[in-house]
Structure 1
Amino acid sequence: MSSAPFIYVSGPDDYLASRMAKDIWAELKQDVTDDFSIEVISGQAGKVDDVAEAVSRFREATQTLGLFGGRRVVWLKDVTFVADNQTGRAEGTVKLCEDLQEILEGINPDEVGVLISASPVDRRKRFAKFLEKTGDYRPSGGMDSKGGGVETLVAAMNRECESMQVTIARDAVEVLISKVNGNSRLLIEEVRKLGTYLGEPGAQITSKLIEELTPNFGEGDFFETTEAFFARDINWTLSALRRHFFAGNDARPVIASLQNRNRLLIQLRSLIDGGEIQAGGRGISKPTFERAAAKYASFYDGLSTKSGFNVFTQNLWYMGKLIGSGKFPALKALIDHQLEFIKAFEEIVDRPNEQEEALRAMAIRCLA
């Protein structure tokens, strides 16, 4: 048992935070036989009054003796008032967080087991810093707004595969994450679906199976064509385009997706060819990437947020995956691709009823 007065679970992904907290809660309450000594309090708050009610219930739950004696356990679940939102910034909420801190400081873990789960969290807040420093902090991980933390999704995927007694091919990992647009809940559900479909212990989830059975979600709608194109697979690219237009979709998002990927590859190829960064079987060297970022920071002035125009705002793991397929084109080919994308865009403007034909011709010119 931890000597900290409470256990604190948080991370940028609310699903992963809730998933980890549920596992911890199951362990925390397993030795408590009195149902009246087990209490779950919702920390979701849309206004300051909701925060006040949650804090009041938490105080009562932690300071009231059990009906039959013995240890009590309390879970302040899915806290939202530590986030950078209107409720979290309210003066009344700040004061209530101070009250909650006083309660937590007085907790005796031998008498009361306390679990707090929260996501998202503004870690700049004083109360958030207190929770991490004072409690038994369990970061749940997940992808943040800049694409960082993807390794947590990979770990969650691998655990789910293990529980399903299946494996997933290395190249299929990125395909599935991109298909679900980094959504952890969808990722886990898709692994379960694919594992159930395979139906045999030891079977493997492949990128081909994912393309056949997993739909695209959110910004990942045009991923298949982009992935096929940069895999240098002309047949796959043409098939992906056929599926895209058969569903009644437009050409412009496909071109935008291709340009965004190509733009990143141009920057990466230039840095590698110039000896600024090192790349190998394990991806891109972090020290060389950081040195290059510092060296060329002035050229990216005003592009500090995640952008395809600034390769240094991208997740390093993802960048390594982009160039790790062994089919990384030369710089001239990438520049030629960019010119072809522009030409294709001009063609669909001139011939809006022949969009599929324009993109198919572009793909053939680039990949044949």
Structure 2
Amino acid sequence: MPSANATPPLVLVCGDDDFAVKQRARQLYQGWCAELGGLDHETIDAAAGNADEAVRALGKLREALQTLPFFGGGKAVWFRDCNFLADDRTGKSALVTETLAALAEELRTFDWTGVRLVISAGAVDKRRTFFKTVEKAGAVETLNGWSLSQKNWVAEAETWAARAFRERGKQVSDEALAELVTRVGPHARQLATEVEKAALHAGDRPEVTRADIEAVCARNKQARAFALADAFGNRDLPGALRCLDEELWEIRLKLDKDKSEIGLLYGLIAKTRVLLLLHELLREGWLQPGASYDQVKSLGERVPPDRLPADRKYNPLAMHPFVLSNALRQTRHYTSAELVRAMEVFLHANRQLVSSSLEPALVLQRALVEIIGAERRPAVSR
């Protein structure tokens, strides 16, 4: 993220990631305050409930820009939480549109010597004259939140978290970083909170480890959804049954409309498929049983692309390295034959869930007991 000194004196920070927008605007404002010195800086609340409130806020902004410090020096202004730059009822009102157009003209010809202005906002209509003027006369930074559907959200979140640790004087291992992002998911505000907790837990140690993350960082809803599959991978029958019971309880109470018994089964099938794929990678010699996280990350450099499935659902290179690294440690709990047998058991369970009147909880419990509780066969030596 650029420093305050590297940016023009007029900046609009906008986007749907409210936490990141406020954090960036605050960084700019505080940087400018330190750079300019003095005590005459202003923060103006720009959240408006109607057109009249919006116009009053704009009036305060114009007054702040035109009123320089009495004893000279510079002035920084933060027009905070502006919510009338979008294509909505307040933003489209004639009064607001006219006032914004007049302000845009002033900003276009304004003398920015010793003056800095940062505007933080949510959604912004990029077709408006005001937006185009700010974009041309200053800079616009758009900060949209991460989402699970975003292909590179994991890499961006890890980069953000690593930088946050560095700002606190801490280094963080790749494995710890992956564990943190896996637990938190695409949520910048929670990620910042967990970074702070992990850094404090590390104390005087210069590096934050995976043990620190596991000790103090919470799991969000998406991360908790993997708990059942992880217990299955660890061949932990009591843990798997406990996780299954918790998941079924949430389904019964309809706490999460996206959860279902068949969805739980498909999650277990997906986990079994990953373990099978890893057994094949081990058999081919592309991975070693004790491979480090970094070795798993570089898997794509060693495996010919034509030797892997084209479908991303079955391609291990399409998975996050942390998921593969974690599953790699779990391969020792099952032989390939046991995993093939597990797929057969899950197929039978799928048929029962779809076409029988058996209680779903009983079907899933039986499947887990049959697979995890089976007598261990010795693993094939490699």
Q: TM-score range by the shorter chain?
A: 0.5 to 0.7
- The aligned amino acid for 1:134 is A
* Conserved 8 A contact 1:283-1:324: no
Partner of 1:339: 347
Partner of 1:256: 263
Partner of 2:11: 7
* Conserved 8 A contact 2:175-2:322: no
Partner of 1:176: 180
What's the secondary structure of 1:98's corresponding residue?
Answer: helix
Partner of 2:255: none
1:261 CA displacement: 9.1
CA–CA distance in structure 2, aligned partners of residues 171 and 341 of structure 1: 35
Partner of 2:242: 242
* Conserved 8 A contact 2:248-2:261: no
Say if 1:178 and 1:358 are closer, same or farther in 2 by CA, change over 3 A: farther
Partner of 1:75: 78
Partner of 1:100: 103
* Conserved 8 A contact 1:245-1:356: no
* Conserved 8 A contact 2:51-2:93: yes
The superposition leaves residues 227-271 of structure 1 with CA deviations (integer Å, 9 ceiling, x where unpaired) of 555xx4323x852552563698346547526636967998xx99x
1:25-64 → structure 2 map (5 Å cutoff): 25-35=29-39, 37-64=40-67
CA–CA distance in structure 2, aligned partners of residues 353 and 149 of structure 1: 34
CA–CA distance in structure 2, aligned partners of residues 123 and 284 of structure 1: 40
* Conserved 8 A contact 1:11-1:140: yes
1:341 CA displacement: 6.4
Displacement over 6 Å in runs of 4+ = 260-266, 332-335
The two structures, once aligned, show a CA RMSD in angstroms of: 4.7
1:361 and 2:362 equivalent? Answer: no
1:6 CA displacement: 0.6
Q: How many residues align?
A: 328
CA–CA distance in structure 1, aligned partners of residues 342 and 136 of structure 2: 48
- The aligned amino acid for 2:242 is R
Say if 1:351 and 1:253 are closer, same or farther in 2 by CA, change over 3 A: closer
1:90 CA displacement: 4.9
Partner of 1:306: none
Say if 1:5 and 1:163 are closer, same or farther in 2 by CA, change over 3 A: closer
* Conserved 8 A contact 1:41-1:77: yes
CA–CA distance in structure 2, aligned partners of residues 129 and 283 of structure 1: 45
**Relative to structure 2, which stretch is displaced further, 74-83 or 140-149?**
140-149
* Conserved 8 A contact 1:34-1:68: no
Say if 1:178 and 1:345 are closer, same or farther in 2 by CA, change over 3 A: farther
Partner of 2:234: 233
1:142 CA displacement: 3.8
Say if 1:261 and 1:239 are closer, same or farther in 2 by CA, change over 3 A: closer
The superposition leaves residues 187-240 of structure 1 with CA deviations (integer Å, 9 ceiling, x where unpaired) of 11112222322334134331x6545543333444413224555xx4323x8525
Identity %: 22
1:143 CA displacement: 1.1
* Conserved 8 A contact 1:156-1:188: no
1:106 CA displacement: 2.8
Say if 1:145 and 1:179 are closer, same or farther in 2 by CA, change over 3 A: closer
1:167 CA displacement: 4.2
1:114-193 → structure 2 map (5 Å cutoff): 114-121=117-124, 123=126, 127-140=130-143, 142-144=145-147, 146-147=149-150, 149-193=153-197
1:62 CA displacement: 0.8
1:77 CA displacement: 1.5
Partner of 1:198: 202
CA–CA distance in structure 2, aligned partners of residues 353 and 333 of structure 1: 21
* Conserved 8 A contact 2:297-2:321: no
CA–CA distance in structure 2, aligned partners of residues 182 and 87 of structure 1: 31
What's the secondary structure of 2:13's corresponding residue?
Answer: strand
**Relative to structure 2, which stretch is displaced further, 164-173 or 334-343?**
334-343
* Conserved 8 A contact 2:42-2:64: yes
Q: Unaligned regions of 5+ residues in structure 2, if any? A: 252-258, 278-295, 377-382
**Relative to structure 2, which stretch is displaced further, 137-146 or 74-83?**
137-146
- The aligned amino acid for 1:41 is I
Q: What TM-score comes out, normalization by structure 2 length?
A: 0.65
What's the secondary structure of 2:249's corresponding residue?
Answer: coil
1:88 CA displacement: 4.1
* Conserved 8 A contact 2:162-2:177: no
